[in-house]
Structure 1
Amino acid sequence: MLEARIQQQFFESADLFYQAAEQLTRPLASAAQLAMLAVTNGGRLFLAGAGLAQLDAQWAAQLLMDRFEQDRPGLSALALAPQLGAQGGVPALARQLQSLGHPGDLLIWIDPQAEADASPLIEAAHGQDVAVVALCGAQDQSLRTLLRDTDLLIRVNHPRWPRVSETHRLALHALCDAIDAQLLGLEA
């Protein structure tokens, strides 16, 4: 019984990955183009996440700054995170973006559960003319109202946040690969 339950976790994840491959390919390609536009024009990539998704933001920022699978020059990527002694949560992230963001930069916001009020961060991005790519789960209504037409919403439609988080990690890896492919002129 326990083994069947464990096996079901893998099957559920694999099924969602197949669905996501069809649904997220075009939005991820658009996100990669936005990222390329930012970095080739001297901009920066800011990544931030709600709750545990902050760890995904840090991971992806490190892959962009250092390398993914190919050697290449480092990209200007930074994970926004509350600083020691600063106020916490999304307001602290918004304050950092207000201080560091410039027109032409890109913010990648990750929130699989829609657990955070992202409005201070999204408003800070818009105030700095920073484009936004938002990765979210099925509960995306609050994000939809915050984003502009030039922003991008990448939605993983699944009721269980662990599956959404797994898909976000794969999406971030696909995004890193797509950016590298564009930078290095790699074939598909």
Structure 2
Amino acid sequence: MKKHILDTLEESLLVKKRFISTHTELIEQAIIALSDALERGNKLLVFGNGGSAADAQHIAAEFINRFQMERPPLAAIALTCDTSVITSIGNDYSFEDIFLKQLQALGRPGDVAMAITTSGNSPNVIKAVKAAKSMGVTVMGLSGPGGQLKELADFAFAVDATATARIQETHITLAHIICDLTERRLFNG
């Protein structure tokens, strides 16, 4: 088991290091865009399915509460949390509309959407991203190596890995970096 533990750690570190080293400039640009949006009074809307839904909640909490520093709350909403909204949309329309309708209700031009899908093809995520683009919402797309999301996103963060776990670990590392540097940029940390 020890070898498997160490191999897993090494693989995770390698995927993250490769991703960060090839996306550094894009990460900087995304942080500037997000911090400018928040400074203007816009918000971050985060969404995804399964583990990515949990990541969406985690990321929104870091922005609303705090990450590394004491500072005022930043406007962020995870579109994965309201079970009454999600189930009513899923029941009355379809599961493909659960993020779309929330984005249409809550999104405004100048907002930023962080769409997360390991495959890059989750139909409900893609449908919401297309709507976001038409509404003037900037899209950060966190995905694996394939799929439509990387073609649609303004900031495409496609992790070049095949293991879902490695992709998700990289997504949360990226989100932590974005949150950390956004609050530093906004609050001179």
- Scaled by the length of structure 1, what TM-score is found? 0.90
Corresponding residue number in structure 2 for 1:170: 173
Identity of aligned residues (%): 28
Counterpart-to-counterpart distance in 2, 1:182 and 1:45: 16
Corresponding residue number in structure 1 for 2:98: 92
For residue 32 of structure 1, give the secondary structure of its aligned residue in structure 2.
helix
**1:40-62 deviation line (CA, Å, top 9, x unaligned):** 11111101113210100100000
Greater alpha carbon shift after TM alignment, 20-29 vs 69-78: 20-29
Shift of 1:122: 1.1
Letter in 1 for 2:177: A
Letter in 1 for 2:55: D
Shift of 1:93: 0.8
**Structure 1 segments of 4+ aligned residues over 6 angstroms from their partners:** none
Greater alpha carbon shift after TM alignment, 119-128 vs 83-92: 83-92
Is residue 2:135 matched to residue 1:132? no
Q: 1:33 to 1:43 in 2, by over 3 A?
A: same
Calculate the aligned-residue CA RMSD, in Å. Answer: 1.5
Contact 1:50 1:115 in 2 (8 A): no
Shift of 1:18: 1.8
**1:75-130 deviation line (CA, Å, top 9, x unaligned):** 11100125314233441111001011111101001112335123310122123211
Corresponding residue number in structure 2 for 1:4: 3
Counterpart-to-counterpart distance in 1, 2:112 and 2:49: 17
Shift of 1:28: 1.4
Match of 1:102 among 90, 108, 131: 108
**1:2-32 deviation line (CA, Å, top 9, x unaligned):** 3212221011111122212311222211111
Counterpart-to-counterpart distance in 2, 1:163 and 1:72: 31
Letter in 2 for 1:143: L
Instruction: Note the 1:42-81 alignment, pairs <5 A.
Output: 42-81=41-80
Contact 2:109 2:135 in 1 (8 A): yes
For residue 88 of structure 2, give the secondary structure of its aligned residue in structure 1.
coil
Corresponding residue number in structure 2 for 1:83: 83
Is residue 2:160 matched to residue 1:160? no
For residue 21 of structure 1, give the secondary structure of its aligned residue in structure 2.
helix
**1:128-169 deviation line (CA, Å, top 9, x unaligned):** 2111010111113x224434xxx1101111111110100111
- Scaled by the length of structure 2, what TM-score is found? 0.89
- Looking at secondary structure, tell me which structure has more helix per residue: 2
Aligned length: 181
Letter in 2 for 1:138: P
